[in-house]
């Protein structure tokens, strides 16, 4: 049985501790103390990720949530109604992902009290998920035995099971033209802004197809109004659920910039790297099926979702671990109208507990 009072109190305690990315210590101390009191063997790695181990029978399983939150996320005052908890509207609430942390702690408490046989667990609370899944990427795999993970970090319906997430390439393009006085001798200059504009005009941005998107998020060029701008920087991305398609889009960006740079006799540095690995699981995958079965047993309909964004699950997947993001129950993450229901947190804690017990044989 899930203890509703525990869920409510733990969540409100967590939300009261500031934890913007890079400053997770307060939340980390709170969790550490909680786990140690519960007798869980727990360690902290060099990056600040917490790793707890709990013995059990059957295949080991990772339960994971991230400890950091986005801005504006300091001095959060939660308004707790009978079921819905929200912020005052000046800050986020931080249910992303403190609801996930709460649910995992509640699962551990319930398992301890039930004394039922369950799978061995590796509990991983990460730092710096929001700044580009940095914490999980630095995890030392040698310390991890599990090949499967539940990442409790999907917003929306409680019954959410995420089966796909994109590969994301990021590109930093530096265009070098030539500075000149804009009034006296513009013909001596090469406008890097014009080169950038010429290239961008020829690119297709936004949605490319159902699983592929392009975006230029930042463009910075020029320094003074009356000078031909020598330098323009462009930060772009291409993401797709298919690696090949994402690569194809990167190639289009590259060719477009190369063409315009040549046309205007400018120079360019084009840096590209895979910021995050994607994953795709079939709904018939045994791990995914065993998850959806558990919701069905609870008389709920599992909600399969293909994500447009990344989470720590992408970091685990890149390390060869089958990681499935599941709902934490919150709505409107990263916004000041973020909210979560206690009843949803309770439902998810029950779902995870059942899953861990029922898949232990």
**Could you please report the per-residue DSSP string of 197-254?**
HHHHHTS--EEEETTEEEEEEEEEE-S-TTB---EEEEEEEEEESSHHHHHHHHHHHH
Q: What are phi and psi of 186, to 5 degrees?
A: -60, -30
- Is 33 known to be catalytic? no
Question: Which range, of 49-57, 111-119, 146-154, 267-275, touches Zn ion by CB under 5 A?
Answer: 146-154
- Is 68 known to be catalytic? yes
**Rounded least distance, CB 301 to Zn ion, Å:** 23
Question: Whose Cβ is closer to Zn ion: residue 98's or residue 346's?
Answer: 98
**DSSP one-letter code for 349:** H
- As a whole number of angstroms, the distance between CA 1 and CA 293 comes to 20
Tokens of 82: 């009978």
- As a whole number of angstroms, the distance between CA 46 and CA 29 comes to 15
Question: Whose Cβ is closer to Zn ion: residue 227's or residue 309's?
Answer: 309
**Rounded least distance, CB 66 to Zn ion, Å:** 6
- CB–CB of 169/253 below 8 Å? no
Interaction of residue 312 with Zn ion, rule CB under 5 A: no
Query: How many of the chain's residues bind Zn ion (CB under 5 A)?
Result: 3
**Rounded least distance, CB 334 to Zn ion, Å:** 9
Kindly tell me which residue out of 24, 153, 159, 198 binds Zn ion, with binding defined by CB under 5 A. 153
Question: Whose Cβ is closer to Zn ion: residue 68's or residue 148's?
Answer: 68
Question: Which range, of 152-160, 239-247, 286-294, 348-356, touches Zn ion by CB under 5 A?
Answer: 152-160
Peptide bond into 97 cis (omega under 30): yes
State the DSSP H helix or E strand holding residue 129, giving kind and residue range, or none if neither: none
Kindly tell me which residue out of 68, 96, 122, 148 binds Zn ion, with binding defined by CB under 5 A. 96
**Rounded least distance, CB 20 to Zn ion, Å:** 13
Length of the chain as a residue count? 361
Question: Which range, of 43-51, 151-159, 238-246, 273-281, touches Zn ion by CB under 5 A?
Answer: 151-159
- CB–CB of 18/73 below 8 Å? yes
Within positions 4 to 43, which residues make up the interface with Zn ion, using CB under 5 A?
Answer: none
Biggest CA–CA distance in the chain, Å, is 83
**Rounded least distance, CB 240 to Zn ion, Å:** 21
Interaction of residue 97 with Zn ion, rule CB under 5 A: yes
For residue 340, give the 3-state DSSP assignment: strand
Burial label, 267 (beta-carbon count in 10 A; 0-12, 13-18, 19+) = middle
Tokens of 142: 């040698």
* List 103, 122, 128, 129, catalytic entry: 129
Interaction of residue 68 with Zn ion, rule CB under 5 A: no
Question: Which range, of 8-16, 153-161, 272-280, 351-359, touches Zn ion by CB under 5 A?
Answer: 153-161
**Rounded least distance, CB 325 to Zn ion, Å:** 9
* List 68, 128, 249, 344, catalytic entry: 68
Question: Which range, of 21-29, 44-52, 90-98, 246-254, touches Zn ion by CB under 5 A?
Answer: 90-98
What's the CA angle centered on 70, arms 327 and 169, to 5 degrees?
A: 80
**Given 3-state DSSP classes, what are the helix, strand and coil percentages for the chain, each rounded to the nearest 5?**
35, 30, 35
- As a whole number of angstroms, the distance between CA 279 and CA 287 comes to 14
**Rounded least distance, CB 11 to Zn ion, Å:** 15
Question: Whose Cβ is closer to Zn ion: residue 51's or residue 92's?
Answer: 92
Question: Whose Cβ is closer to Zn ion: residue 237's or residue 312's?
Answer: 312
Residues near Zn ion (CB under 5 A): 96-97, 153
Which residues are identified as catalytic? 68, 129
């Amino acid at each position: 049985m899930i203890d509703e009072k525990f869920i409510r109190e733990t969540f409100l305690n967590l939300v009261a501790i500031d934890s913007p990315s890079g400053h997770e210590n307060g939340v980390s101390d709170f969790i550490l103390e909680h786990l140690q009191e519960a007798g869980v063997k727990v360690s902290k790695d060099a990056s600040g990720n917490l790793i707890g181990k709990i013995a059990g029978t059957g295949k080991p399983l990772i339960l994971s949530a991230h400890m950091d939150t986005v801005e504006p996320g300091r001095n959060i005052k939660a308004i707790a109604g009978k079921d819905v908890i929200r912020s005052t509207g000046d800050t986020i609430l931080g249910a992303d992902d403190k609801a996930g942390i709460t649910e995992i702690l509640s699962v551990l408490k319930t398992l301890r009290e039930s004394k039922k046989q369950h799978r061995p667990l590796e509990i991983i609370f990460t730092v710096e998920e929001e700044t580009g899944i940095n914490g999980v990427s630095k995890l030392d795999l040698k310390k991890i035995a599990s090949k499967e993970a539940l990442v409790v970090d999907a917003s929306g319906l409680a019954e959410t099971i995420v089966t796909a997430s994109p590969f994301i390439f990021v590109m930093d393009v530096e265009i070098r033209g030539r500075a000149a006085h804009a009034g006296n001798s513009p013909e001596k200059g090469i406008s890097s802004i014009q080169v950038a504009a010429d290239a961008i005009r020829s690119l297709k941005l936004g949605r490319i197809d159902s699983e592929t998107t392009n975006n230029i998020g930042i463009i910075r060029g020029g320094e003074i109004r009356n000078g031909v701008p020598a330098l323009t920087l462009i930060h772009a991305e291409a993401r797709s659920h298919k690696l090949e398609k994402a690569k194809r889009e990167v190639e289009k960006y590259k060719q477009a910039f190369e063409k315009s740079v040549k046309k205007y006799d400018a120079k360019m540095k084009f840096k590209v790297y895979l910021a995050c690995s994607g994953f795709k699981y079939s709904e018939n995958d045994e791990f995914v099926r065993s998850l959806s079965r558990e919701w069905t047993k609870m008389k709920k309909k599992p909600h399969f979702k293909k994500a447009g964004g990344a989470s720590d699950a992408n970091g685990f997947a890149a390390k060869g671990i089958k990681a499935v993001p599941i709902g934490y129950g919150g709505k409107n993450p990263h916004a000041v109208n973020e909210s979560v229901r206690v009843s949803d947190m309770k439902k998810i804690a029950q779902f995870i507990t059942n899953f861990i017990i029922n898949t232990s044989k």
